[in-house]
Each structure stands twice: as structure tokens, then as C-alpha cells.
């Protein structure tokens, strides 16, 4: 069992690895970034990049960057819900995770990690139980334990339980396993959307569930 100091030591190493692989990833994927950006511009117009405030480590707010996958909100055209606004092209970007490429910039900046609990919406912050709020003890990740164990097919309670499991057991070997499993999940395109949702249903809070038990 790792000591708390051991976990802290890994967190320092993890930040170095995150910065290295984010820089490498941006360099290697630069042709894909250009192509996807041009396709998004041709299919969806401006803005090409979707940005939104999300809570990171210790609940600090940062701006998340992804490629845009939805049409603009328009009541006249009945483009209101995420399901209505998400295009076939956008679904393809999400299913291949190509929309996530700009998020490497967040990793390079230190807002995020390659592996960790996914950054959720800011309005969820006051809906968490104390155990659920522990997901902010670490930097949020591009991928995580929940993403390779069902993704949006999981219930919110199941996702949070996996987040807590990761936080308590985070180590280099686990991160490597999650990265490898993520590659398989991307190719299988499994768990992208919950039934009847563009991604996942809104988290409305959980009454008094202890995720540590």
C-alpha cells in the first residue's frame, strides 16, 4: 500500500510525464489538428474550438478546449437540446475522440492530466457529496478509470465510485493500463452516449451515498 508521501511523489512525476507526452502528442498530431480544424470549419463554421469553464484540481476553474461538434443553439431551427444540435459529423469526431485533441493543450498548461477523473460541469460543484467532491483532489484527465469501464453507460454513482478508486490507488502502472485500455475503447467506440442522450444525462445530485464503502 502506498504511503501518502509516495502518492505525492508520483503526482510530481506524473506532472512531468503529462507535460512531456502532451507536448509530444501536440507535435505528432499537428497534421490531424489542422485537418480536423478545416473539416469543422467547413461543416459547422465558426468557432472551430469549443471552450467551456470546468472545475479542475481543488475545484479551481479552468477553460477546457475541444473541437466543436454541435451546431449553434437556435430556437427557430429547433436546435435546443444537445441531441438536436449534435451532427453526424460531430458524432464521428466524438466516437473517434478526435474532438479531444485540443485538450492536450490543457494538459500541457497543467489544467489537466492525461489520466484522471473527467472534468464535469461547474454547476455540479454544489451537488456533490463530500466523497464525490474528492474527485477534485487530483487534476482531471482526458481519460480515466470510468472511461475504460463503461463510460456513459455507467450510472453517476458508478462513475464516482471509479473516480474514488482511481484517486486512492493512482500509480504509474494503473495509468499505463488505463491508457492502453483507452486505445481499445476508442477503436470499439463503446459507451459514447447514454441511452437517449447525446453524451450523458445531467447529474442532479446523490443523497447521502458513501462511495468509500
Average pLDDT over residues 56-83: 80
Residues of the chain above pLDDT 90, percent? 65
- Run of H or E including 95: helix 88-95
Determine the average pLDDT of the residues in 45-67: 95
CB 115 within 8 A of CB 10: no
Bridge partners for 26 per DSSP: none
Cis-peptide into 72, omega within 30 deg = no
DSSP code at position 139: -
* pLDDT confidence of residue 64: 97
pLDDT confidence of residue 79: 58
- Provide the pLDDT for residue 99: 94
Q: Per-residue pLDDT averaged across 17-46, rounded?
A: 96
Residue 1: is its pLDDT beyond 50?
A: no
pLDDT digits (tens, 9 = 90+) for 97-124: 999 999 999 999 999 999 999 999 999 9
pTM as predicted: 0.85
Of 80, 82, 83, 50, nearest in space to 67 by CA: 50
User: 136 by DSSP, 3-state: which?
Assistant: helix
Give the three-class secondary structure for 27.
Answer: helix
Annotated domain spans of the chain: 4-188
| Distance between first and last Cα of the chain | 18
Distance of CA 165 to the CA centre of its chain: 17
Given pLDDT bands bounded at 50, 70 and 90, which one contains residue 86? confident
pLDDT digits over 129-161, tens only? 999 999 999 999 999 999 999 887 899 999 999
The whole-number pLDDT of residue 150 equals 87
Amino acid at each position: 500500500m502506498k504511503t501518502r508521501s509516495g502518492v505525492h511523489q508520483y503526482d510530481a512525476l506524473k506532472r512531468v510525464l503529462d507535460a512531456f507526452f502532451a507536448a509530444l502528442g501536440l507535435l505528432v498530431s499537428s497534421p490531424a489538428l489542422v485537418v480536423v480544424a478545416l473539416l469543422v470549419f467547413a461543416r459547422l463554421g465558426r468557432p472551430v474550438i469549443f471552450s467551456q469553464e470546468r472545475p479542475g484540481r481543488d475545484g479551481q476553474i479552468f477553460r477546457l478546449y475541444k473541437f466543436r461538434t454541435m451546431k449553434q443553439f437556435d430556437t427557430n431551427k429547433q436546435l435546443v437540446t444537445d441531441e438536436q444540435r449534435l451532427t453526424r459529423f460531430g458524432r464521428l469526431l466524438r466516437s473517434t475522440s478526435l474532438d479531444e485533441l485540443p485538450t492536450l493543450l490543457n494538459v500541457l498548461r497543467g489544467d489537466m492530466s492525461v489520466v484522471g477523473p473527467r472534468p464535469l460541469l461547474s454547476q455540479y460543484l454544489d451537488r456533490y457529496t463530500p466523497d464525490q467532491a474528492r474527485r477534485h483532489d487530483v487534476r482531471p484527465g482526458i481519460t480515466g478509470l470510468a472511461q475504460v469501464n463503461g463510460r456513459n453507460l455507467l450510472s453517476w454513482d458508478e462513475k464516482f465510485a471509479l473516480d474514488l478508486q482511481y484517486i486512492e490507488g493512482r500509480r504509474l502502472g494503473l495509468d499505463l493500463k488505463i491508457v492502453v485500455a483507452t486505445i481499445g475503447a476508442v477503436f470499439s467506440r463503446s459507451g459514447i452516449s447514454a441511452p437517449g442522450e447525446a453524451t450523458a444525462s445531467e447529474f442532479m445530485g446523490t443523497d447521502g451515498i458513501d462511495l468509500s464503502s
